[in-house]
Amino acid sequence: VYADAGFNDIRIAYCTVGDDKWRRIAALSNTCDVSFCVDTADGIRAASVVFSEIGVDIPVLIEIDNGYGRCGVHWSSDETVALAKLVSELPGLSFRGILTHAGDSYRGPQSNEETLEDALRRASNSERDRMLAVAARLTLAGLKPDVVSVGSTPSMRFFQNVDREGLRITEIRPGNYIFNDLTQVGLGVATLGDCAQTVLATVISLHRENDGCERFFLDSGKKVLTSDSAFGHEGYGALLYNARTMVPLPHAMINALSEEHGWVRVSGGATVDVGDRLRLVANHSCVVMNTQKSVYLVDGYDVLEEIRVDAQSAVT
């Protein structure tokens, strides 16, 4: 999708495994500079076989686990040097650098004394310093990385680059910042007014419960909002009283989801009727965007343009 749109430098920030995917990368390499991530010797050897048979040389980055605990070689491990040497020795591959995702920046403060800002600064500095430490070990082994890539929207809030013996962070990859969402609001990265993406939902049912509260249901459930939670926020999105000024709807919480329904509980009487349409800010904007074939560019309540989501569901 990106290559067809004219992008000629594509970084797949993901451990990519499988003959079908590698062959697609090889085909892309004829028209653009495309690279991907590895983090195991088995994956490196298998990729080398495919690319050498095709007759191409594809740059790869070693993915580093900066403390999140997902994919990647732990930042303190000497395995990174061994993997970089293996890449350099095998046909069909070339060593381009190292890459990480600071997913631990989404965990927020780790003590009662730590503020949201303190937590973001800690995550940002830790991500930078640990990656530069890995780069230094590689350089000492004669494998200086051309690319030292970091990124997450929270850790970029207070990012400051530094020079350590000629080594610097060369690339940052925040993604969620383009829209923001309730997670970024909860972490102190953005305000509700900074959130560019909203979901337009319709009230399809309303009932009063025995305890005097009312519950109404939206036509947006897990298939639209997903079941992702948000740091510092209860429920599955923030309903808006005024979408133009981004004022939240008081006393209402989306406290449950089923596939096609959003369950909203209101303390006391609801201020909506069946058929009303409400806009809401989702917990996680990235996955919401991936569920939609098209979105609408709006200015307040005015619709300016319908935009097709070219990469919708393009996850492999």
247 against 316, higher pLDDT: 247
* Mean of pLDDT values over 47-76: 97
Q: What are phi and psi of 207, to 5 degrees?
A: -145, 145
Domains of the chain: 9-174 (3.20.20.10), 192-308 (2.40.37.20)
pLDDT over threshold 80, residue 315: no
Question: Of 86-90, 142-146, 205-209, where does mean pLDDT reach its minimum?
Answer: 205-209
- Of the candidates 139, 118, 7, 15, the one whose C-alpha atom is nearest the C-alpha of residue 72 is 15
pLDDT score for 210: 84
Contact 87, 53 (CB under 8 A): no
| Dihedral over alpha carbons 95, 101, 104, 106 (to 10 degrees) | 180
Residues whose CB is less than 8 angstroms from the CB of residue 293 and which lie 6 or more positions away in sequence, other chains included: 308, 309, 312
Q: What token pair was written down for 316?
A: 């492999």
- Of the candidates 195, 157, 192, 198, the one whose C-alpha atom is nearest the C-alpha of residue 174 is 157
pLDDT tens, residue by residue, 127-186: 999 999 999 999 999 999 999 999 899 999 999 999 999 999 999 999 999 999 999 999
Contact 277, 218 (CB under 8 A): no
pLDDT band at 212 (very low <50, low <70, confident <90, very high): confident
pLDDT over threshold 90, residue 116: yes
pLDDT score for 316: 60
pLDDT over threshold 90, residue 211: no
Q: What token pair was written down for 301?
A: 């309540």
196 against 269, higher pLDDT: 196
pLDDT score for 128: 97
Percent of the chain, pLDDT > 70? 100
pLDDT score for 267: 87
CA distances, 205 to each of 210, 235, 270, 274 (Å):
17, 19, 12, 6
Q: Average model confidence (pLDDT) for the chain?
A: 95
pLDDT tens, residue by residue, 256-296: 999 999 999 998 888 899 999 999 999 999 999 999 999 99
